[in-house]
Structure 1
Amino acid sequence: MRVLIRADASMTIGSGHIARCLTLANVLRKDGAEVVFACRQLPGHLLQRLVDQGYVTLGLPERYAQEQSGADIETSLPWQADIDALADALNNQPRFDWLIVDHYGLDARWERAARRFADRLMAVDDLANRPHAVDLLLDQNYSAQAQDRPYDQWLDPRCKTFLGPRFALMRDEFQCEPITIKPRVERVLVNFGGFDAARQVHATMLALQGFDDLHVDFVAGSHNPEWEAMCELAKARPNWRLHELVSDFFGLMQQADLFIGAGGGTTWERAALGLPTLCISVANNQQLNAQLLAESGVHLYLGGHETLDPQQLVQAIALLRDNRPLRQSFAVRSQAMVDGRGAQRLAVALTEPIWALRKTTELDATLLFEGRNAPHVRQWAFNSDLIDWDSHVAWLQRSLQNPQRLLLIGDTAHGPVGMLRYDRQDERVEVSIYLFEGRAGVGWGQALLSSGERYLRQHWPQVRVIEAQVLADNAVSISLFQKAGYRQAECHFQRVINDE
Structure 2
Amino acid sequence: MKALIRADAAIEIGMGHRVRCQALASAFERLGWMCQFVVHHRYRQFASDHDLLIDCEDDLLPLAGQADLVILDHYGYQADDIARVFHSQPNLLVIDDMNDRGTFPAKWLVNPLNQAYSSQVVMPLIGGQYALLRPSFSQHYSESIPPDRLLVTLGGTDPLALTLPLLKALEKAKFSLDKVQVMLGKNARNSAEVLAYCEEKHIVCLQGVSDVTPLMRQARMAISAAGGTLFELACMGVPTVFAQVAENQTRSLEQHVPLAWCDTVRFDDVNERQRAERIEHLIRLVMIYWQDDSWLTKARQVAQRLVDGKGADRVAKTVHQEFLGMMQCH
Q: Which amino acid aligns with 2:6?
A: R
Change (3 A) 1:256 1:329: same
2:238 equivalent to 1:275: yes
Identity of aligned residues (%): 25
Change (3 A) 1:107 1:179: farther
- Partner SS state of residue 68, structure 2: strand
C-alpha contact (below 8 Å) 2:136/2:211 kept by paired residues:
no
1:200-215 matches, cutoff 5 A: 200-209=162-171, 210-215=174-179
Change (3 A) 1:283 1:352: same
Inter-partner Cα distance in structure 2 for 1:6 and 1:312 = 38
1:333-412 matches, cutoff 5 A: 333-356=302-325
2:183 equivalent to 1:241: no
Inter-partner Cα distance in structure 1 for 2:197 and 2:177 = 16
C-alpha contact (below 8 Å) 2:289/2:296 kept by paired residues:
yes
- Partner SS state of residue 197, structure 1: coil
Aligned equivalent of 1:140: 112
Inter-partner Cα distance in structure 2 for 1:324 and 1:178 = 22
Aligned equivalent of 2:54: 60
Aligned equivalent of 1:106: 77
Inter-partner Cα distance in structure 1 for 2:192 and 2:20 = 29
Aligned equivalent of 1:488: none
Inter-partner Cα distance in structure 1 for 2:45 and 2:193 = 24
Deviation per CA, 1:339-375, whole angstroms, max 9, x where unpaired? 1111111112211221149xxxxxxxxxxxxxxxxxx
C-alpha contact (below 8 Å) 2:213/2:236 kept by paired residues:
no
Q: Radius of gyration: which is bigger?
A: 1
Q: Which amino acid aligns with 1:17?
A: H
1:11-50 matches, cutoff 5 A: 11-43=11-43, 45-48=45-48
Deviation per CA, 1:401-456, whole angstroms, max 9, x where unpaired? xxxxxxxxxxxxxxxxxxxxxxxxxxxxxxxxxxxxxxxxxxxxxxxxxx9xx86x
- Displacement of 1:111: 2.9
C-alpha contact (below 8 Å) 2:44/2:53 kept by paired residues:
no
- Displacement of 1:270: 0.9
1:44-443 matches, cutoff 5 A: 45-48=45-48, 51=49, 56-61=50-55, 81-83=56-58, 85-86=59-60, 90=63, 95-115=66-86, 117-130=88-101, 131-141=103-113, 145=114, 149=116, 151-152=117-118, 156=120, 159-177=122-140, 180=143, 186-209=148-171, 210-221=174-185, 223-238=187-202, 240-304=203-267, 306=270, 307=274, 309-356=278-325
- In structure 1, stretches of 5+ residues that fail to align are 62-80, 358-450, 459-500
Inter-partner Cα distance in structure 1 for 2:15 and 2:44 = 9
- In structure 2, stretches of 5+ residues that fail to align are none
**Which deviates more, 224-233 or 331-340?**
224-233
Q: TM-score, normalised by structure 2?
A: 0.87
C-alpha contact (below 8 Å) 2:98/2:251 kept by paired residues:
no
Inter-partner Cα distance in structure 1 for 2:140 and 2:292 = 22
Change (3 A) 1:179 1:255: farther
Inter-partner Cα distance in structure 2 for 1:213 and 1:11 = 28
Inter-partner Cα distance in structure 2 for 1:228 and 1:341 = 35
- Displacement of 1:302: 2.6
Of structures 1 and 2, the one scoring higher in RCO (CA 8 A, sep 6+) is: 2
- Displacement of 1:60: 2.0
Q: CA RMSD, aligned part only?
A: 2.7
Q: Which amino acid aligns with 2:40?
A: R
Aligned equivalent of 1:407: none
Q: Which has more helix, going by share of residues? A: 2
Deviation per CA, 1:10-50, whole angstroms, max 9, x where unpaired? 111111011101100001001000111101133574312xx
Q: Which amino acid aligns with 1:333?
A: V
Q: Which amino acid aligns with 1:126?
A: D
Q: Which amino acid aligns with 1:96?
A: A
Inter-partner Cα distance in structure 1 for 2:294 and 2:44 = 41
Q: Which amino acid aligns with 1:234?
A: C
Q: Which amino acid aligns with 2:21?
A: C
